[in-house]
Amino acid sequence: MDGSSYYLPAVAMTAVLAVKGPSLLRSWRDPLLRSVCSVLALTALVFFFAAPPTIAEVNDILGVTNVSAPLVYCLLSAFSAACLVLIVNWRGGPPELTRRMSRRWISGYGVVIVALVVLFALGDAPVERLRDFDTYYAREPYVREMIVLYLGALAVAGVAMNVMCGRWALQVQGRLRAGLLIIVAGHVCNIAYLTTKFTAVVARWNGGNLDHLSSDVAPGLAAAGAQISAVGFCFPLACQRAGDTWSTWSTYRRLGPLWRELRPVSPYAGRAVRMSWWSPVELRVTRRQSDIHDGMLSLYPYFDADLRARAHDAALAAGSGPADARAEADAAMVAAAVRARAADPEGRLIDFAMTQTGTRAGTGTGVAAEATAAANSPRSPQFPGSASSPDSPAPAAPSPVPPPPASPAVGVEGPRDLVRMSLALRRSPVVAAAQGLSAAGPRSEFPERTGQEGTG
């Protein structure tokens, strides 16, 4: 590797760190996120300070010959500790055990870093070596021990990482297992790097010269190992992020039919601020859900609980599951309410409901009941399929329609499933029948389905 080749991995790791930086600031107390950012930062620092141009510049700035050597060795030791701590936090377990293991690795490599500095201070390295410091000073007292210590520390970390990741990979599946195996492959490259370094140093001890292994082969193995390991760490997280984004986009798309159904009756239709194309998909989903809730709120006086009950029974009879049946019933009620609102352009039922707000608080009745009474009044628009429709035969003993649910967004059984409702609008024959009934006017039963069509 030439001098500039060291900076490419440093820049890549810095870019990834910049992407993760805002998350770290928001969740500084998250040990896993701190460990990930520590590994990224130390990887970038190792390659930056190991580049020969940087080595020469640091030596000149500090005024100490070869002072970059212990600096790089210390960064490599800190990187090894950070990788081990990351795996410990990533795997999880009892918090006290996780903290204890992390402290042990940090303490152990902290001792190594202090020893590296002390050994360099005790040794003598007067000739500046930018690429072959390890082999040039392989027999120098104290410096020799410093070289062996940092190589041994890296070897311990490499073996420990392979053992921990390999065992964990046997216990998990999917993208996590793939990420762990990629990390193992990266640390195999690191072990190959250490093998070439040790071989060159031992050759010097025995009077040989295999310096090219240390100065030419080892740096490439180190770069490959670090970048492969970084990919392994990021792979499961990137896959999870991509999966979450896809799921959110899918939710946004599936809400489309319900959103379009309610858009004509939304009180803010045409007045909402347009979202920019770069707006996060999460914000888009929130906006679409808000529009749907606003539209349902404006339709509240037109909700026909009797129609909903009959649609629910029809969906169950046709083979839908409980969740799908509730969604089909809600969607049928909303579709009928949209058409009832269109048949009442002056909004007389809405005005009636608003004037009754709070007037029945002391009698045990409220706006919902008053709105239902208004719906059954000859002067108000008729709910589709209701018993009081003008085209229906007059019943002998009319009974009031049950009041609608307490909230447009919350049904009798709990919060409405907007996604299932939206799919039901597009696929359910029960909803199509409710739309047909609201257009025809007279009361009729919902048709039964022969298949097992669901809305999910």
Mean pLDDT of the chain: 81
Q: Are 434 and 307 in contact (CB under 8 A)?
A: yes
Residue 296 has pLDDT above 70, yes or no: yes
CA–CA dist 69, 59 (Å, integer):
9
Question: Which one has a higher pLDDT value, 80 or 444?
Answer: 80
pLDDT at 410: 55
CA–CA dist 274, 73 (Å, integer):
54
Q: What does the pLDDT average to over 311-339? A: 91
Residue 309 has pLDDT above 70, yes or no: yes
Residue 291 has pLDDT above 60, yes or no: yes
Structure tokens at 366: 């409220």
Q: Are 382 and 389 in contact (CB under 8 A)?
A: yes
The pLDDT-based confidence of 362 (bands split at 50, 70, 90) is very low
Tell me the C-alpha to C-alpha distance, in Å, between residue 184 and each of 51, 225, 228: 25, 9, 9
- Give residue 54's region: left, alpha or beta (phi > 0; psi -120 to 50): alpha
**Which tens digits make up the pLDDT trace of 139-197?**
999 999 999 999 999 999 999 999 999 999 998 888 889 999 999 999 999 999 999 99
Q: Using H for helix, E for strand and C for coil, what is the string for 349-382?
A: HHHHHHHCCCCCCCCCCCHHHHHHHHHHCCCCCC
Q: Are 55 and 68 in contact (CB under 8 A)?
A: yes
**Which residues, in sequence order, are CB contacts of 369 under 8 Å at separation 6+?**
360, 403
Report the run of H or E that residue 38 belongs to, with start and end.
Answer: helix 31-50
Tell me the C-alpha to C-alpha distance, in Å, between residue 394 and each of 155, 308, 371, 375, 398: 91, 22, 21, 16, 8
Partner residues linked to 411 by β-bridges: 414
Residue 404 has pLDDT above 90, yes or no: no
Residue 329 has pLDDT above 60, yes or no: yes
pLDDT at 441: 52
pLDDT at 240: 85
Phi, psi of 415 (to 5 degrees): -60, 140
CA-CA-CA-CA torsion for 396, 438, 382, 264, nearest 10 degrees? 170
Report which of 45, 25, 23 is spatially closest to residue 237, judged by C-alpha positions.
23
Q: What does the pLDDT average to over 315-336? A: 91
Which own/partner contact pairs does 3-9 have at CB distance under 8 Å and 24+ positions apart? 3/51, 3/52, 3/53, 4/51, 5/219, 5/223, 6/47, 6/48, 6/50, 6/51, 6/52, 6/54, 6/219, 6/223, 7/47, 7/48, 7/51, 9/43, 9/44, 9/47, 9/223, 9/226, 9/227
Residue 3 has pLDDT above 80, yes or no: no
Residue 58 has pLDDT above 70, yes or no: yes
pLDDT at 197: 94
Taking residue 415's Cβ as centre, other Cβ atoms within 10 Å add up to: 9
Tell me the C-alpha to C-alpha distance, in Å, between residue 199 and each of 207, 214, 224: 12, 8, 19
Q: What does the pLDDT average to over 397-419? A: 57
Q: Are 262 and 299 in contact (CB under 8 A)?
A: yes
**Which tens digits make up the pLDDT trace of 29-40?**
788 888 888 988
CA–CA dist 117, 123 (Å, integer):
10
pLDDT at 278: 78
pTM summary value: 0.66
**Which tens digits make up the pLDDT trace of 258-283?**
999 988 877 765 566 677 777 888 89
pLDDT at 357: 52
Tell me the C-alpha to C-alpha distance, in Å, between residue 247 and each of 187, 254, 282, 323: 34, 10, 10, 20
Please, what is the Cα angle at 25 between 23 and 26, to 5 degrees?
A: 65
Indicate the burial class of 203 (C-beta count within 10 angstroms; 0-12, 13-18, 19 or more): middle
Q: Are 167 and 141 in contact (CB under 8 A)?
A: no
The percent helix, strand, coil of the chain (3-state, each to 5) is 70, 0, 30
Q: What percent of the chain has pLDDT over 90?
A: 42
The pLDDT-based confidence of 381 (bands split at 50, 70, 90) is very low
Residue 382 has pLDDT above 50, yes or no: no
pLDDT at 33: 83
**Which residues, in sequence order, are CB contacts of 52 under 8 Å at separation 6+?**
3, 6, 130, 131
pLDDT at 356: 59
Question: Which one has a higher pLDDT value, 22 or 388?
Answer: 22
pLDDT at 396: 40
Q: What does the pLDDT average to over 230-247? A: 86
Residue 374 has pLDDT above 80, yes or no: no
Encoded amino acid at 348, one letter: R
Q: What percent of the chain has pLDDT over 70?
A: 79
Phi, psi of 61 (to 5 degrees): -65, -45
Question: Which one has a higher pLDDT value, 321 or 343?
Answer: 321
